[in-house]
Amino acid sequence: MTISLSDRTAVTRNKIETREARIGIIGMGYVGLPLALLFSEERFSITGFDIDSSKVGTLNRGESYIVRIPGAEIQSAKKHGFIATSDYSRIAQMDVVIICVPTPLSKYHEPDLSYVTSTVSSIAPHLKDGQLVILESTTYPGTTEEVVVPLLEQGNPSGLQVARDEVSPGFYVAFSPEREDPGNTDVARRDIPKVVGGCGPAARDLASTLYATIFNRTVPVSSPAVAEMTKLLENIYRCVNIALVNELKQLCMRMGIDIFEVIDAAKTKPFGFQAFYPGPGLGGHCIPIDPFYLSWKAREFDFHTQFIELAGQVNLAMPYFVVENIVEAMSQQGKSLHGSRVLVLGVAYKRDNDDLRESPSLTIIELLQKRGAQVEYNDPFFPVVGHGRKYALDMTCTPLEQIPEFDCVVIATDHSQYDYADIVGRAKLIVDTRNATKGIAAPHIVRC
């Protein structure tokens, strides 16, 4: 007897609602691991997939490698059946597969979907009828339908296709953008609405049912492309506004105006204004990258996103602006940057975070080194900084006790662990890119 698609969806939906669905999450990073823990709290059977054997081993020992996730949460999940593996053949045992892998930029600032395509190609041979596959990785509109679906269909030896109607067998595919905000303790993960777009109503509804078990609100949309564009809009909105205040900061510095005082005054308006703050550049996985994803895709439609690209360029230029201000500040003290010792405080892209992705601090370090400075760093979250996609520093954390030995201290990330009054008191020169020394008056502080 042939089972109709509606019967298949009913079976899958029932498994989800009764917490019997087995969920595989691919990519145990800053997005995938928190998601796995949320599902585990709801007593789902969770398997975490990752190609990094060290991550797999750490998780299976009940330990964490992400600062904001305590080991106790991993241990609790293990008690509910959570396990990590690098064996993609176990995909065949899953009812739901969620892909949370990186989508960085290439060296030419074009989308690099290699992690997505390699992951999809790895799971395609193990797909089975009735499975739900969801992509969460941030990407350009069209990725799910134009890249993921064809790879899944072509790589499946059983010839299964995406189920799009009420009569065809196959697997379901949806896109639901991650909305993680590392370090944000004001909004619980469950309170962040989950946008869901499916390849057909059945996929959308199943994905919505799944996410409704861990999020207090789901937001179904008409297609994966709408969901993909939603994510880009959210982050480009922030990118553009940060670029605006970064540019205004440069103007205010020439005019002798404190941009932070201006922002504090402007945000007293109870409507029509949201405060954004300048800094040494943008970091993290999404905000620095998303404008370039959309601009690249827009060219396919003979459309040039001038406004968005300009914002990206302004933010990319900020580390260079910081370095020029360091040069000028040292010159005012009669010193050359070449041969001087510079200590960079904070290499994470964000306060109180252990994430190096796209961090402007790394760019600042490399630019200073190219100008002949002897650069060291301090960051409470990183005892060492080795090699990454865009850096090869091989540096170890310098103790704060050595601050008096440096010609210049650059505050690049304003971690709350730092005692800024003490740092100012012991440093010869401070270049503050984050307004971390607000309220401290000293002639050797340069804010930029």
Give me the DSSP letters along 25-91.
Answer: EE--STTHHHHHHHHHHTT-EEEEE-S-HHHHHHHHTT--SSTTS-HHHHHHHHHTT-EEES-GGGG
- Judge whether 173 and 225 are in contact, CB under 8 Å: no
- The helix or strand, by DSSP H or E, that contains position 253, with its residue range, turns out to be helix 224-255
CA 386 to chain centre: 20
Beta strands in 312-406 (DSSP E): 341-345, 374-378, 384-387, 392-396
The letter for the amino acid at 332 is Q
Q: In which residue are the tokens 């922030």 written?
A: 238
Length, in residues, of the chain: 448
Our answer to whether residue 100 is catalytic in this structure is: no
Number of Cβ within a 10 Å radius of residue 250: 18
Beta strands in 161-210 (DSSP E): 172-175, 194-198
Which of 199, 252, 286, 408 is the catalytic position? Answer: 286
Which burial class, exposed, middle or buried, applies to 192 when counting CB atoms under 10 A from its CB (0-12, 13-18, 19+)?
middle
196 forms beta bridges with 220
**CB under 8 Å to 265, separation ≥6 — which residues?**
none
**The pair of three-digit structure tokens given for residue 393, joined into one six-digit string:** 């520093």
- The helix or strand, by DSSP H or E, that contains position 211, with its residue range, turns out to be helix 201-211
Strands 430-432 and 445-447, bridge-based pairing: parallel
Query: How many whole angstroms separate alpha carbon 214 and alpha carbon 448?
Result: 42
Q: In which order are the strands placed within the sheet that holds 445-447?
A: 374-378, 341-345, 408-411, 430-432, 445-447
Query: How many whole angstroms separate alpha carbon 406 and alpha carbon 359?
Result: 23
207: left (phi over 0), alpha (psi -120 to 50) or beta: alpha
Rg (CA), the chain: 24
Assign 109 to helix, strand or coil.
coil
Number of Cβ within a 10 Å radius of residue 5: 19
Q: Which residues are catalytic?
A: 286
